[in-house]
Structure 1
Amino acid sequence: MKAIVVPPPPAPPIHRNADKTSTTTCPSSNHQLHLRLPLYNPNPKNLSLLPNFPHQPSPQPITPHVNKNNKEKKKKENKRRKCDTTSHILPLMDALHFPIPIDIYTSLVKECTLSGNPETAIELHTHIINSGIEPPLNLLNRILIMFVSCGLLENARHVFDKMSARNFHSWAILFVAYYENSDYDNAVDVFLGMLCQLGVVEFPFPPWIWSCFLTVCACTENVPLGMQVHGCLLKLDACDHVLVSSSLIRFYGRFKCSEDANVVFNKVSRHNTLTWTAKIVSGCKERNFSEVLGDFKEMGRVHGDAIKLGLDSDNYVQCSLIAMYGRSRLPRDAKMVFEMTRNERNVDSWNAMFMGLIQNGLYIEAVKFVYQMKEAGVQPHEPLLEKLRMACGSSTFSSMN
């Protein structure tokens, strides 16, 4: 047999540039306004209810050598590009004398919300005002979110005060903004104003907003207002919700009202880790350690009943047990339940164990656990990773994304 010699492939063409360098070329629905005010603020600090005021990058694999500065620069560049989109489109449309439709304004507001650039947010809002259009309610709500995301709370309040019509989302955006910024006095005023417009009975308020408002009452030490909220929730038959009941228990526990906290706890039809933890913390604040130990035994009895009924192999029950022990400052018991589920673990079980380590301050073990999750092909929840980074006080773990 004769050997066949295959000639090498031709080299790619090289182009000479003018600078003597070479380049190779390779082949909401409308709500009626019912003014009802069943709640009032016993300790008002503001004279008026509503005072007037003048893209995610693709996940990157973990590499041993990562330049943190370059990664931060890339994030800043991505934000700049989003801001540049607004800065380029608006002058271009103005130069062409094209009217900008509502949907384009909505897209620009979304991009500006993600970028968080305050200068671009103000520029975009000014352009919307000067255009002469009447923004619909959903666009105004998005503008509120944009200003809040950019840290322009006064601008958001200014837009809110000028809105001719408001729905639940309008009020909730401003309330949550004040709540997150620890401006509890304004949060109380906005919440009471929302009750006046929407009506307590007419509008079904979600449990989470009642929970937030109870937290506001606790932080401002406004016990009478919190008790009025409790009475209102009793009339609405909303105290059986786990989120609401746990918030009420924490509220009474903060002021060492253990009897009221126990009344709320005993009226809940089904308990979970939120209600148990709230009750235990409330008992610890009043130094009722015998009662706290009894609660721990009761929680252990629940685990024993689950084993007797053969429910300990259920993924939902396993995840709940891990979360229960983690919230109760029993990481060893949580780890024991987690190890028992070696062959039947799911994403929720992994993240419940990860959350338990963070809640108990076991940050070094939590970091090791992240790599175990990566090895098992499980992606940790981003909010938990963010909590771990904040707890460690640095961006050392930024490569865990």
Structure 2
Amino acid sequence: MTTVPELDRDKLFAARLHAARARPYLATALFALHVVPSRRVPTMAVDRHWRCYVSPAFVARTPEEELAAVWVHEVSHLLRDHHGRSDRFARERGLSGPAERLRMNIAADCEINDDAYGDGLVRPEGAFVPADLSLPEGELMEEYLTRFRLGPLTKQLAWLDCGSGADGLERDWETGPDGAHGLSPQERDAVRFRVAQGISGRPGDAPEGWQRWAEEAFQAPQQWRELLGAAVRSAASGAGADDYSYGRPARRSAAVPGAVLPSLRRRPPRVVVIIDTSGSVSDAELGSALLEVAAISRAVGGRRDLVSVLCCDAAAGTVHPLCRAEGIPLTGGGGTDLRTGFAEALRTGPRPDVIVALTDGQTPWPDRRPPCRTVVGLFPRPRTARSWDEEDPDYVPDPPPDWARVVEIGSAPGGR
């Protein structure tokens, strides 16, 4: 009887350290993965919740330098959102079944493997590159999917299984959304953001495919983000009240011997950001909202102590001071009524000078102009889209009121 080995964690984690040294820009993602030993996976696999399932037998028979490359391969599926992209491709093309998901896994591997090896990482045994399937290099998963079908060239890949993190199809050996040690959608976006920052900061260290990913995943401020920042700065410029301060005496003190006169100083504005966490706002849009919070903080001089965040669906949540954007709990998921969020923001002490609402716009708005400047960042929706309502399926939400400065997030300039 063959004895199944226990997982050699020392060897596995040494390989992860090797991977982080070879690809330092991926280190945050590599160490965010939680390891789950599993004898049901052929090699290593990931689920969409950032758990890494590892075969003890595979670790035992594989050299450490090859394991390092497998670590990089698996985390690449998650960073490149192959599970979400596979789901979207399947919906758009009407595809279903394990065979189509295997084809997606193969296409995703082609996207990763064309520039994954070398520079400190060896190509693992059994790993394939696009040329092995008579495919060109440098294309995306979706492009590869239009170029091949399962057949003689892919027959030897029937064993391939990188988990739901690669093709979106959950396995019965995965622990699912309610299992332990998974990352929340916001935590996953925070990891991607840090990796993209690392690549953008030292672009010469990453292959062209990763540079392209970083540019497309979290691009430098675009026109709409510049508009949002400008709108916040404009609102803040007229919001921070002037006050006298003895911290820096007025220049005219020299003209009044024996007296110290205060100077007129502009108080930095306080900003409350209301994030719409209703069911009509996607996880991707919530992740985008966290990026906007960071951009808003920069727009008011980087004073995070002056920026607070409030989550709101049909009811307002707790106002959180901004310490780290990825640490903000984005709770909600019900209906939408941002009027409660505005009311809660105005009850916050001290009262804000600027309120920024990040929403899809499917909400009633306050009847009165708030006693502070207001900026609305709208997540894009098709112009013909209608909001579902229990009593009126043809209900179309009111646009933001005229007293708000409106910027449509993700679009070209044109906000009010």
Q: What is the TM-score with the length of structure 1 in the denominator?
A: 0.23
Higher strand fraction: Structure 1 or Structure 2? 2
Q: What is the TM-score with the length of structure 2 in the denominator?
A: 0.23
Higher helix fraction: Structure 1 or Structure 2? 1
Q: Which has the larger radius of gyration?
A: 1
